[in-house]
Chains A and B, each alone.
Chain A
Amino acid sequence: MITLGLILKEIRHRKVNFLLSLLAVVTAAALLISFSAASKASERETARLMLSMGFNVHIVSKNINTNDFLLTGLADRTMPEEYIKKLASQQAISYNHLLASLQKKISWRGLEVILTGLASEVCSPDSKKSPISYQIEPGNLYVGYRIAQTLGLKDGDTVEIEGKTLKVAKCLAESGSADDIRIQCNLRDAQDILKLHGQISEILAVDCLCFAPTDNPADVLRKEIGSLLPQAQVFHTQTIASARAKTRQMVRNFFAVIMPLVVIACGVSVGVLAITNVRDRQQEIGIMRALGYGSGQITSLFLGKAVVIGLLGAAVGFLVGTALAMKFGPDIFKITAKAMIKPELSLLAMSLIFTPLFVAVSSFIPAMIAVTYDPAVTLREE
C-alpha cells in the first residue's frame, strides 16, 4: 500500500488531530500572509505620513552667508533654476521630491513677510512619486495665518505685490512657524515680483532612507550633489531625517518581532499535536516494525502527513490571510491600502513551498520519536 494512501486513511481516522494541526497551520499562514500584505501598506503609509514632516534636504548656493541661512532659513544668494533639472535627471540617487523655491524677505503693506515662489515638484526618471507639497497655480497666492489676520484677507481677495496682481487662493491655518508670515505663489510670479528671472534660492528635497547603517546620510548627499552642482551646498535636517528613519525602522521592527512569534507558536502547536499523534500510534508503529517496515518508511508516514497538512494549510491560509488583509487593511491604512493590499501570487508560491517545509521541520522530532519506539515494548502494551 502506498504511503500517501496510508496517510490519507489515517487522516480520515484521526480527524480531530488533523483538524487541530490544520487549524494551527492555517492560522499561522493566514496571519503571516495578512501581516506580509499589510506590512507593505504599513511601511508605505508610514513613509507617506512621515513625508508630511517636510523636506529634510536643503540645497543652496555655495556663496550664501551660512550663519544667516541657519539663523533665518533664508538663502541670501540665488542660483540658476537649471540646477533642479540636473538633479532630477539623475538615476539611482539618494534624494527625491525636488522642489525649487525662491524666497526673500520683503516689506508688504507695512509688514515684514517672506515671499516664497514654488515650482512644481519633480522626481528622478526612475522614481514615480506622488508630490508631497502643494502646487500653486500662476496668479494665485497662499497667505500665511498672521498676515491674513493682520490684513483681514480672505479667500478670493485680489492683492497687488510690487505691481503684480494675484488672487488669494487660500488663507492658511495657523502653523506656529515661519509659514504664518509667509506669502506663497508660483515660482514664475515670485521671479517676476523679485525681478530674478531664471533664479532660485533653494532646492528642497527628501532623502531616500536607502542609506546603509554605516553611512552618514549628509556625507552621501553632499558627495552626490556636490559632483553635479559644484556651486551648491547641502544641508541635511537631522531631526526630521532621524524621526522618519526611526519611525520606519520601528514599523519594520514590529513586524520583525511579530512574525517570528507567530511562526514559533505555530511550530510548537504543530509539534505538540504531532507528538500526540505519535503517542496515539505507538502500537501501529510497532506492528509496522514487526512487519518489516524500516525507519525511512515510518518517518515518511509522519513527514508525509506534515507535508499534506502544510500544503492544505498554505492554500487555505493564503485565502484567509488575503481576505483578512483586504477586508481590514483599508480601515487601518487609509492612504495606501487600496493600492498596496491585493492578492499576491508570489506570496501563495512562497507559502506553498515554505509552509509544508516548516510543518515537516516541526514534525521532525515527533517522527524521530516514532522511529525510536521499540516494537518489543509497544506491542506488549494492551
Chain B
Amino acid sequence: MVVLENVEKTYHTRGSIVKALRDISLHIEKGRFIVLCGPSGSGKTTLLMIIAAMLRPTKGRVCVNQNDLYKMSIADRARFRAQNIGFIFQMFHLIPYLNVIENVTLAGGVAGRSRNTAQARDLLRQLGLEGRVFHKPAQLSAGEKQRVAIARAMFNRPKIILADEPTGNLDPENAASVIEHLSEFHRGGGTVILATHQLQAEKFADRVVYLRDGGIERHD
C-alpha cells in the first residue's frame, strides 16, 4: 500500500518559489492500477519521484508497504527502491552502450540478480523482443525501447511500477501495447501508478486522480 499524507513539494529557483505539490493525501491499495492525470506542470512527475523514494518532499509523510520512505537512510532508500519499485520513463532512458539484455539485467545489479539472464530472456520473450536481445538501444524502434524499459522495470519483480508518460513518445499501436503490458502486471497482483496527460489508460484504471497546479482536483 502507498500512503501519502499532506505531501508538499516546493522548489526554490533563482529567488522564486514554485509550489510543485500542495497538500497531497492519497491512499493506494495494493494491486491497484492508478492513473494520475493532469496537464503539464500539474505535479504528476514530482509525485511519482516522491513515491519512488527519489525526491524528498518539503512536507508530509510517504509510506510504501508500511515503510516511511524519508525516515530511511539514503542507502536503505536506494535498496528499497531496487527491491520494490520499477520505474518507466517517457524518454526510455536506456544505457546507450549496453545491449538489450544488459540494460534489463542492469536493474538486478543492486539486488544481486544481474546474472539471471534466463529470467531476463523470458521477460523479453513475453514482450516480443526475443530477436533483439543483443541489439543496442540505437538499433531499436521507440516502441521496442519502451518495451525494454518495461522489462527492466519488471526484472526485480517489483511490487509497484511507476510509469511517467510511458506512451508519450509512442504511436497508438505501441502505446496500446505498453498499456496492455502494464495491465498484465496489474492483473498479476502488482500495483501500477501511471502518470499521463492523455486518458487512453483510463479504461484499465481502478481509479483516476486528476491533478492541477500541484493539488488533487478530483478522484474518479
Contact = CB atoms under 8 A, between A and B. Distances in A.
B78 A375 contact: no
A50 to B, nearest CB: 58
A290 B109 contact: no
B7 to A, nearest CB: 14
A375 B79 contact: no
Contacts of A382: 91
A294 B55 contact: no
A192 interface: no
Contact of B87 (A14, A283, A290, A297): A290
A300 to B, nearest CB: 12
Given A290-B87, A291-B109, A379-B89, A12 B49 contact: no
A380 B89 CA distance: 9
B46 A379 contact: no
A13 interface: yes
Interface stretch (B30-38, B96-104, B199-207): B96-104
A59 B20 CA distance: 91
B49 A293 contact: no
Contact of B114 (A1, A13, A380): A1
Interface in A133-151: none
A290 B52 contact: yes
Given A293-B78, A293-B110, A375-B54, A1 B97 contact: no
Interface string B54-94: 11000000000000000000110011111100010101011
Contacts of A64: none
A327 interface: no
A376 B91 CA distance: 14
Contacts of B95: 284, 287
Interface string A290-309: 11111101000000000000
| Most chain B beta-carbon contacts within 10 A, residue among A10, A291, A295, A380 | A291
Contacts of B146: none
Contacts of B79: 292, 294
Nearest to B94: A287
B83 to A, nearest CB: 7
The 7 closest A-B CB pairs, nearest first, are: A292-B82, A13-B97, A292-B110, A376-B55, A376-B49, A287-B93, A292-B81
Interface of B: 45-46, 49, 52, 54-55, 74-75, 78-83, 87, 89, 91, 93-98, 102, 105-107, 109-111, 114, 152
Interface of A: 1, 6, 9-10, 12-14, 283-284, 286-295, 297, 374-376, 379-380, 382
26 contacts: A1-B109, A9-B102, A12-B97, A13-B96, A283-B91, A284-B96, A287-B95, A289-B78, A290-B54, A290-B81, A290-B93, A291-B81, A291-B106, A291-B107, A291-B152, A292-B81, A292-B83, A292-B110, A292-B111, A297-B110, A375-B54, A376-B49, A379-B89, A379-B93, A380-B45, A382-B91
